[in-house]
Amino acid sequence: MASLAEGQIGVPIVCENKPGASGALAFSYVARRSADGYTIGHAPVEIAIVRSLGYADIGPSDVSLICLVSKTAPALVVQADSPWQSFQEFIEAAREGAGRIVMANSGIGSIWHFNILLMEQGTGARFTHLPYGGSTPALVSVIGGHADAAVAGVGEVVSHVKAGKLRALAVFDETRSGVLSEVPTTHEMGFPIGAPAWSGFFGPGGMAEQRVTLLAKAFKTAFGTSEWAKLCRERGMEALFLDKDEFGAFAMDQQRFFESEIPKLVRLESSE
């Protein structure tokens, strides 16, 4: 995105990775910079989550949101030669098995882990949770037959599904995914569950209106290019543009959702 937007604003965009604490370190770092628009950050879904997890006291209302550029739906996968052919069969087995099905996740408190808890809450299924440090090892453990199933982003599972190593049973979304169009969605099967990952940009709180608009315009132009469309297709992301007001409303909505759901989900898990 940076290399696509660069041409629009006439200054180079230098990307700096600041990993740590689900992105909380990077959010806090950007929020502390001067609000001149020269330091902005990438705002993934975690910006609406980290406060509920207690990693950092920061949320969408503390920063200047610029725009949202993509969304990634979660997908439920099992090993290609597992007995479960459909989401319904899988859920049925998980209800009866009372935790006998082992569900790998990409880390406690990660967005994909929440989706597993939402699935338990919404369908009455119960799993044994097997936490890994990221989606890749979680998916590898399903491919290797060590765990029965996993939930990860559509873009993360699609290559293994296409290679015949994993079978996708459901995409947690309202509409079907572009790269896994043959896989049914939870909503169409009568389970309105799912919390997508998303990706946008933000600056320190109190950025001047016109600077936000300028940056949003540059990102919007970059968003419209065929390169971005191609990248989204390859990574299994849904290209979706929300301007700062829409993004602001969406992000606050997400934060309220996680604030109300996380305590419930944590209780659900500890009661298992």
Partner 1 sequence: MIGEILAGLAAVLDWHVLGFLAAGVSLGAVFGSLPGLTATMGVAVLTPLTFWVSAEQGLAMLLGIYCGAIPAGGIPAILINVPGTPASIATSWDGYPLTRKGQAGLALGINALASAAGQLTSILFLAFLAFPIARFALQFGPAEYFGLALLGISLMAGVSGRHVLKGMLAGSLGLALALVGLDPMTAYPRYTFGMSEFLDGISFVPVMIGLFGLGEVLVQISDRHASRAVSSGVIGRIMPKAAEARTMLGATLSGATVGTMVGAIPAAGGDIGSVIAWEQARRTSSDKDKFGKGSLRGLATSCAACNAAIGGAMTTMLTLGIPGDAVSAILIGALLIHGIQPGPLLFANNQSFVFSIVFLLVFASLLIMAIGILGAKPLARILNIPPPWLWMGIVLFGTVGSYALNNAVVDVWAMYVAGIGGFLFRKASVPLGPLVLGLILGPMMESNLRRALILTRGDWLDLLSRPILLVFVAATILSLLWPLIRARRRAAKRNHRLSSDA
Please, what is the minimum distance in Å from the beta carbon of residue 19 to partner 1? 6
User: Across-strand partners of 104?
Assistant: 130, 150
Q: Which of 182, 195, 186, 177 is nearest to 233 (CA)?
A: 177
* Nearby residues of 252 by Cβ (< 8 Å), 6 or more positions away: 60, 61
Measured from the CB atom, is 73 or 138 closer to partner 1? 138
**Of the residues 131, 178, 184, 205, which one makes contact with partner 1 according to CB under 8 A:** 131
Q: Can you list the positions of beta strands (E) in the chain?
A: 41-44, 63-72, 74-79, 102-105, 128-131, 149-153, 166-171, 197-204, 238-242
Measured from the CB atom, is 160 or 167 closer to partner 1? 160
Binding to partner 1 (CB under 8 A) within 36-55 occurs at 53, 55
Other CB atoms within 10 A of residue 2 CB? 13
**Of the residues 20, 206, 224, 263, which one makes contact with partner 1 according to CB under 8 A:** 20
Please, what is the minimum distance in Å from the beta carbon of residue 88 to partner 1? 26
160 contacts partner 1 (rule: CB under 8 A): yes
* 197-204: strand order across its sheet: 41-44, 197-204, 63-72, 238-242
164 contacts partner 1 (rule: CB under 8 A): yes
130 contacts partner 1 (rule: CB under 8 A): yes
- Residues interacting with partner 1, by CB under 8 A? 3, 16-21, 24-25, 28, 53, 55-56, 102, 107-109, 128-133, 136-137, 140-141, 143-146, 159-160, 162-165, 234
